[in-house]
Structure 1
Amino acid sequence: MVPARRWRGTSGERDFPAQADGATVEFLDIAGLVEGASKGEGLGNKFLGNIRETSAIIHVVRCFDDENVIHVNDKPDPKQDVAVINTELIMADIEQIERKIERLGKQVKGDKKLQPVLDLAQRLKDYMNEGNPASSFDERDTQPYLELDQELRLITAKKVILVANVDEEGLETDNDYVKQLQSIAETQNAEIVKLCAKVEEEMAGISDEERLEFLQSMGAEESGLDQVV
């Protein structure tokens, strides 16, 4: 549930009932996406299918050191972690596009009106084979692209929010991991939010006043979760 205090203040001078309910945002926790997921590694195919059903992607990236918390590659590396996920998502989309091109190649023989979609699908495939996401494709506002995306629900066409999961010290100052992620966000035109999962867990269930006091003691004014929603 999006807190009413958030959206009540985003609509200018309009008045809302004191007990107004916030909008509802549903989060799907899709863990376990590893290198090779697009080829079925781990539970890759299942997770990739779940991602296609979402409206946006929130990519939580570890940005702290702790020898007691295992990392799949032994040590946090935001640049590598993001690159692995992006590559798998791009490859998954390319596979979908290739299948569509094959179908269109047969269908266009009986329906020439499908030729623009087929041509665009080929251009999009070539573009993504260079390591680019669909979200930066120049023709994404054209009718052939919209028709293609409506059917395929391209993963890399979705809005992305990068979440830097830091330790408590990282809430006050940006460590090198966070700076790496900020640089990545700029190149990908993605939004970035910083939060501490441990702190978010500790704040669960306390009042707004207590939350604010707790956050201020940590050098923050708003929780990372509130920023995300």
Structure 2
Amino acid sequence: MGLICGLVGLPSSGKTVIFNAITAAGVSSYNGSEKNQAVVNVPDQRMNKLVKMYNPRKVTAATLEVVDIPGLKASPEGNGRGIKLIGHIKDVDALLHVVRCFEDERVPFEYDTINPVRDIEIVDLELMAADSLTLEKKITRLAKKVRAGDKDTIRESVQCEKVYAGIQQGIPARKQSLNSQELSSVRECNLVSLKPVVYVANVKTMNDGHNLYLDALIQYAEAEGAEVVAVCGKDEADISQLPPEDRIDFLRDLGLEESSMERLLHAAYRTLGLVSFFTTGEDEVRAWTCQRSDKAPVAAGKIHTDMERGFIRMDVMHCDDLLTLGSEAAVAKAGKQRVEGREYEVQDGDIVTVLFNR
């Protein structure tokens, strides 16, 4: 779908180490002045099982693009200068906000103490400073039509001014509970403080499941309904360099079914409101991505645009049923294969076959 997640955070938060772990890119040097980016496969154990069942000639996973955005530094009075490359943040669909939750004198930090909430607020201040400038420009641009009495423009300007006032009070746009009309009014502004966030707690070791810093971050995130994923960037970067089979054994020895990088990518998927559905066969097993509320024709269009235009119906079974019962024939016999029409909302884990007019 071309969706992009951007890693943001203060310098020395561990952002680039985590980028290396996510992408298994092993970037050996990084000067912090330009962005790193990579397209990564979204891990899915269901798909791995489908591949074993069908033994296809080709396997295609769902993907996300991940961008490592240069570290943000606090600027005087939060005037937005800390975001040197604000365009990179505007380009992403969700933020993976890396927050340092460990003490280590060997890893210098520009602040004397570790304080996750303070660090989040520093970054948010920079995001809001950039949004303030964007909204000021839009409100100024609308002013002429407002003076002329254009009702639609007056309403749009009032809604932009409301969001602007919230930002001036230190409330990021994503925390302002904007209604559909307000979201529509600011959509063209592409506000960076409106983008959904997953907080990435960078802890000292993989066994560091809870510490005071992580607990403070979790409490903060819960207040805004955001997810927190605890990772040890250094350990995960090392694990990502292992061959896949050794990686699985290593995690199993630790009593883990998946790495924290997998949990992070899944959290990003949920935050973006995405689901995976599958097409299967001896030629190819493939994961596709659509929005959670997408109806059958739109989801079919992800496979091929002709399928959306000529959509007739969709044959659907769920991968859990197939994996439990062992074959497509067994699923059909159990009455768990369905025919769905245009109003059906595709569910996460659906296996679909589309009938369409060519």
TM class, shorter-length = 0.7 to 0.9
1:157 — aligned with what?
A: 194
Bigger strand fraction: 2
Q: C-alpha displacement at 1:78, in angstroms?
A: 0.7
Q: Give the deviation of 1:89 after TM superposition.
A: 1.1
Query: Which residue in the other structure is 1:95 paired with?
Result: 133
Aligned residue pair count: 221
Q: What's the offset of the Cα at 1:176?
A: 1.0
Report the Cα distance in structure 2 between the residues aligned to 1:228 and 1:16, rounded to whole angstroms. Answer: 28
Q: Which residue of 2 aligns with 1:198?
A: 234
Q: Compared with structure 1, are the counterparts of its residues 173 and 205 closer, same or farther at alpha carbon in structure 2 (3 Å cutoff)?
A: closer
Is 1:34 the counterpart of 2:70? The answer is no
Give 1:59's aligned residue.
Answer: 97
The amino acid that maps onto 1:138 is: S
Q: Which deviations, in whole Å up to 9, do the C-alpha atoms of 1:1-21 show, x marking residues without a partner?
A: 224535638x9xx98957422
Q: 1:39, 1:128 → 2: CA distance? A: 13
Q: What CA distance in whole angstroms lies between the structure 2 residues aligned with 1:110 and 1:17?
A: 64
- Decide which structure has greater helix share: 1
Separation of aligned partners in 1, 2:145 and 2:250:
61
Per-residue CA deviation, residues 47-105 of structure 1 (Å, 9 max, x unaligned), is 32211110000011111111100012133211111111112212221221111111111
Query: Quick one: which of 211, 225, 229 aligns to 2:247?
Result: 211
> Tell me, which stretches of 5 or more residues in structure 1 are unaligned?
none
SS at match of 1:171: coil
Q: Deviations over 1:142-184 (max 9, x none)?
A: 2x531422x110111111000011122x534311111111111
Deviates more, 1:105-114 or 1:153-162: 105-114
Residue matched to 2:342: none
Q: CA RMSD in A?
A: 2.6
Aligned match of 1:228: 264
TM-score, with length taken from structure 2? 0.56
TM value normalised by structure 1:
0.85
Note closer, same or farther for the CA distance 1:135–1:40 as it changes in structure 2 (3 Å cut): closer
Shift of 1:128: 2.0
| Identical amino acids, percent of aligned pairs | 30
Name the CA distance, whole Å, in 1 between partners of 2:123 and 2:46.
31
What CA distance in whole angstroms lies between the structure 1 residues aligned with 2:137 and 2:54? 51
